[in-house]
A and B are shown apart, each in its own frame.
Chain A
């Protein structure tokens, strides 16, 4: 079974600085998707960025980028130029690329990010 581990329960960053959130996963599959979700105090789950395992190029969305190391099974999220609105819980998640029952999204336990003004 696949697992996702986020080893940093809480992180803090100064406004305008850069922070990296860690995520590791375990799987025997070769084709899968990885995601970072943001959950602000509003509780809404917001997709931040996605990575397809068969693509070696790291995904980037504006100030958000990932460092995807497939061999090491590592998927970290880098937030550049941190803003107060980035304060939230961040979840790393895994999804198989195969159909049927493997569609489920497997979450890590989350990292609570605080942004200091």
Chain B
């Protein structure tokens, strides 16, 4: 029962480089999302997905792409890293609201600390 697995845990990029943050869950959750955490700003939603093949933008989507080809995986791509993307990134998953099941909150991955120099 792994929950939500995020890789890598730490990453340093040079400005302009690209990379993909991986996220996988084994709980058959329909809903997956990516957040970034910056000091004094809480967690802000980047992109989310309500099911395989369906993604949408959150509060701060610029500079990031996502795809959801399977229920389990939801990778986050940085196309051309910028220093403003230095942050801690969290992937989270949950059952969807409105399905009739109880909502127990989100399950979070352990986070990725990304530094762009």
- A residues sitting closer than 8 Å to B (CB atoms) are 4, 9, 33, 35, 37, 43-45, 47, 50, 52, 91, 93, 95-110
Contact = CB atoms under 8 A, between A and B. Distances in A.
Interface string B8-42: 00000000000000000000000101010000111
Nearest to A96: B97
A106 B44 CA distance: 8
Given A99-B97, A100-B98, A101-B50, A43 B111 contact: yes
Give 3 nearest A-B pairs by CB, closest first: A99-B98, A45-B108, A107-B42
Contacts, number: 78
A105 B106 CA distance: 8
B74 interface: no
A50 B94 CA distance: 14
Interface size class of B (residues with CB under 8 A): 20 to 34
Contacts of B111: 43-45
A108 B42 contact: yes
A95 B103 contact: yes
A103 B54 CA distance: 13
Given A101-B50, A104-B45, A44 B103 contact: no
B59 to A, nearest CB: 9
Interface string B78-103: 00000000001010101011110001
Contacts of B58: 104
B44 to A, nearest CB: 8
Nearest to B50: A100
A98 B90 CA distance: 23
Contacts of A107: 35, 42-44
A106 B110 CA distance: 19
